[in-house]
Amino acid sequence: MRRRPGRIRAGIAGAVAVLLATVLLSGCSQVVRGEEDLLARPYTGRFYDDLPKAAGTPGTVVRSELVPGQPGGSTAWRILYRTTDLHGIPVLNSGMLVVPDGKVPEGGRAIVSWGHPTTGSAEKCAPSRSVDPYVWMEGLTDLLKQGYAVVSSDYTGMGVPGPDSYLVGATEGRNVLDAARAARDFLGSVVSDRVLLWGHSQGGQAALFAAQLWKEYAPELDVRAVAVAAPATDLAPLLRADIGDVSGVSIAAYAFAAYSSVYEVPVDTILTPAAAAALPAMNGFCLLTQNSALHDVAKPLVGGFLSADPETTEPWAGLLAANTPGGTALPMPLLVAQGLNDKLVRPDSTTAFVEGEQRLGTDVRYLRVPGATHGSIAGKALPDVLSFFAART
């Protein structure tokens, strides 16, 4: 019997929900390989091939293609746009842009620039390369119903070649801001300069860095507000605390490989020989969509991954601190959502971040959600995020 597109979409979305609930949240490695296979079917087009030069104005779109399967009443594109890394070097980024159909409001639509949670660090792990890129954009359908144009960056080094940017805050923040610029470049008067930043987990860190960098890096944008769900803050304690299970080892493998590459620091100063040897294999697997294979490599390393404490061992302690958001007052209102049953980003770390921002003078609303886990918090916080955004656009 022929499967309808709606049923396919429901199956994919269900697979994402199951994998988030069983893998990212609890560290459980007992997942269904069929669900992984459903999500991991590769993109087979030529969009990511024969790339143009990266040099040029950040935020300019150099390639686009229409993407089918979008939410009803909208149009979607893959985009390739210019951005810069933390050193200011031009790089290309891929991403997604989704816009409601119908009459454009006076002044144009506000832009929501979305920072996605961890999907991996390899090029193939980019959400825009997924068989269904829309399932990785949390709250997309509701944001479109509210009239927003939604743009999402894959982050540098994903989708197309570039320096590894996993948890490299300044690079991710520029990616998120340049994605908003790309929406303006591509859509013209359909969108305004009003921008809202929204991110989950790794994407929360990216959105916070975008907020910190905004006035210096992209002052022509009018960033009105930033909302984050279970943001990756206080990175050294986060990596150390989560290292006792396979999910923590997997995420740490992405992070230490990225920092070693970007900052040119040998990993053998922080990892055991077995962990260092496993990094290439682990970084070749995507989180969730290749979770079984990733955990097969990670599981033997539990308890034997770190050779030193990243919070006290230099230069790692300094690098992790430099990529931890906070320490400066944000010039726009901030909403932070945290699940009280989150086992990955722990509530006390998020509370400490919020209290630090409040002391600096940031206008912070803190939403603590009983029963919410790391995977469910973005969805549970969405009604509050929508009303928070609506009041500021």
DSSP character string of 202-218: HHHHHHHHHHHHHHHH-
Distance between CA atoms of residues 351 and 26, nearest Å: 21
pLDDT at 390 over 70: yes
Could you tell me if residue 126 is left (phi over 0), alpha (psi between -120 and 50 degrees) or otherwise beta? beta
Tell me which of 43-47, 265-269, 291-295, 354-358 is least confident: 43-47
Question: In Å, what is the CA distance from 195 to each residue of 89, 109, 113?
Answer: 24, 9, 7
Question: In Å, what is the CA distance from 301 to each residue of 39, 40, 251, 260, 386?
Answer: 26, 25, 13, 19, 41
Q: What is the pLDDT of residue 240?
A: 75
The total of other beta-carbon atoms located within 10 Å of residue 9's CB is 15
- Say how many Å lie between the first and final Cα of the chain, rounded: 47
Model confidence at 349, in pLDDT bands (50, 70, 90)?
Answer: very high
Which pair of structure tokens corresponds to residue 300? 């033997």
pLDDT at 303 over 70: yes
The DSSP secondary-structure symbol of 286 reads: P
pLDDT at 11 over 70: no
Across the range 185-196, mean pLDDT stands at 98
Sequence-ordered list of residues with C-beta below 8 angstroms from that of 89, at least 6 positions apart, any chain? 163
The total of other beta-carbon atoms located within 10 Å of residue 44's CB is 8
Q: How far is CA 264 from the centre of its chain?
A: 24
Q: How far is CA 80 from the centre of its chain?
A: 17
Architecture (CATH level 2) of domain 61-232+330-390: 3-Layer(aba) Sandwich (3.40)
Q: What is the pLDDT of residue 236?
A: 86
Distance between CA atoms of residues 263 and 315, nearest Å: 10
- The predicted-structure confidence for 98-127, as pLDDT tens digits, reads as follows 999 999 999 999 999 999 999 999 999 999
Question: In Å, what is the CA distance from 107 to each residue of 192, 367, 386?
Answer: 6, 31, 20
The total of other beta-carbon atoms located within 10 Å of residue 300's CB is 14
Q: What is the pLDDT of residue 245?
A: 81
- The predicted-structure confidence for 204-233, as pLDDT tens digits, reads as follows 999 999 999 999 999 999 999 999 999 999
Model confidence at 384, in pLDDT bands (50, 70, 90)?
Answer: very high
The total of other beta-carbon atoms located within 10 Å of residue 10's CB is 11
Which pair of structure tokens corresponds to residue 88? 């200011």
Question: In Å, what is the CA distance from 9 to each residue of 63, 138, 153, 230, 287?
Answer: 26, 14, 22, 26, 20
Model confidence at 15, in pLDDT bands (50, 70, 90)?
Answer: very low
pTM for this entry: 0.90
Q: What is the pLDDT of residue 41?
A: 60
- The predicted-structure confidence for 17-71, as pLDDT tens digits, reads as follows 444 444 443 333 333 444 454 455 667 689 999 999 999 999 999 999 999 999 9
Q: Which residues pair with 337 in a beta bridge?
A: 229, 367
Q: Domain residue spans in the chain?
A: 5-40, 61-232+330-390, 236-319
Across the range 301-310, mean pLDDT stands at 92
Q: What is the pLDDT of residue 350?
A: 97
What integer best gives the mean pLDDT of the chain?
Answer: 89
Q: Is the dihedral of CA 33, 273, 267, 163 positive or negative?
A: negative
Question: In Å, what is the CA distance from 174 to each residue of 49, 154, 205, 382, 391?
Answer: 23, 12, 12, 24, 25
